């Protein structure tokens, strides 16, 4: 039990919760494992579970007709997803896929509703994350409306570099994934990367973006973070 408890305390989601609340979440959660690239659910599926990432990485994305995809987020250890359909929409607003071998805690719709009603720390955590996601979505809409591809790439690199699991100043991502994250195709992203490389703002080697000039990247993204 002590071993399980130590492992649970390492999952960031549980850090802000009281021990009694953690115990409760664990009691009602089921562990599920997914292999790299395995689908967890698809957009429009009926939502019946809430998930917390115990280990691994999950890609949240939507398909935009044909083979175009838009990646909304990569979720890591301690992040959660699957709450939106349970709170309102009924069906999944996006698809979720294991980006690495992944283990999740799954909580049923019924138990999720109980958690919200009975556990204020849990509910606050949920609301904070939803507010953060909305702010990020607003920024992305503004970026898509007002920025050219260079600005969007700069914004995207800064956003991806912010995740607590990436090495500071470095983002491991291949060009197709990056294009999906920016909601565009590979060719313009490849050109934009080359422009930033030539001017010494970033380097890109073996699937890893390296930030060389953070100030320049921020000014291109038009934000002070
Ligand atoms: P749900 O609609 O149940 O299923 C898809 C899930 O993806 C959704 O709940 C959210 O948990 C998650 N999701 C949707 N949009 C985003 C986003 N922009 N950033 C992070 N997660 C998201």
Digit-coded pLDDT (tens) for 179-215: 999 988 889 999 999 999 999 999 999 889 999 999 9
What tens digit of pLDDT does each residue of 119-170 get?
888 898 899 989 999 998 888 887 777 788 999 999 999 999 987 566 788 9
| 174 C-beta neighbours (distance < 10 Å), count | 11
**Using CA atoms, how far apart are residues 156 and 162, in angstroms rounded to an integer?**
10
How far does residue 29's CA lie from ligand 1's centre (Å)?
19
Q: Phi and psi dihedrals of 62, rounded to 5?
A: -130, 150
Q: What is the pLDDT of residue 144?
A: 77
Higher-scoring residue by pLDDT: 15, 212: 212
Q: What is the pLDDT of residue 1?
A: 53
What tens digit of pLDDT does each residue of 52-106 get?
998 999 999 998 776 778 999 999 988 899 999 999 879 999 999 999 999 999 9
Q: Is 89 in the pocket of ligand 1 (CB under 6 A)?
A: yes
Residue 38's alpha-carbon distances to 45, 94, 111, 132, 140, in angstroms, are: 16, 15, 25, 27, 27
How far does residue 74's CA lie from ligand 1's centre (Å)?
10
Q: Is 129 in the pocket of ligand 1 (CB under 6 A)?
A: no
Q: What is the pLDDT of residue 35?
A: 98
Number of H helices, E strands in the chain: 10, 11
Q: Is 47 in the pocket of ligand 1 (CB under 6 A)?
A: yes
Residue pair 87/133 in contact (Cβ under 8 Å)? The answer is no
How far does residue 62's CA lie from ligand 1's centre (Å)?
10
What is the reported pTM? 0.79
Q: Phi and psi dihedrals of 159, rounded to 5?
A: -65, -45
Structural domains present in the chain: 2-141 (2.60.120.10), 147-221 (1.10.10.10)
């Amino acid at each position: 039990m002590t071993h399980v408890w130590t492992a649970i305390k390492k999952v960031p989601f549980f850090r802000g919760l009281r021990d009694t609340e953690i115990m409760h979440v664990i009691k009602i959660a089921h562990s599920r494992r997914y292999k790299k690239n395995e689908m967890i659910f698809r957009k429009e599926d009926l939502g019946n579970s809430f998930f917390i990432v115990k280990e691994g990485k999950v890609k949240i994305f939507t398909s935009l007709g044909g083979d175009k995809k838009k990646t909304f987020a990569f979720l890591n250890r301690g992040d959660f997803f699957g709450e939106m359909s349970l709170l309102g929409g009924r069906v999944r607003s996006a698809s979720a896929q294991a980006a690495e071998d992944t283990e999740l805690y799954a909580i049923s719709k019924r138990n999720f509703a109980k958690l919200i009603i009975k556990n204020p720390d849990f509910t606050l955590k949920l609301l904070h994350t939803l507010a953060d996601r909305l702010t990020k979505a607003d920024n992305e809409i503004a970026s898509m409306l007002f920025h050219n591809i260079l600005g969007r790439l700069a914004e995207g690199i800064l956003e991806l570099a912010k995740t607590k699991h990436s090495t500071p100043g470095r983002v491991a991502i291949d060009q197709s994934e990056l294009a999906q994250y920016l909601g565009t195709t590979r060719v313009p992203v490849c050109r934009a990367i080359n422009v930033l490389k030539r001017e010494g703002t970033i380097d890109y080697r073996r699937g890893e973006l390296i930030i060389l000039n953070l100030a320049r990247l921020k000014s291109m993204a038009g934000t002070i973070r």
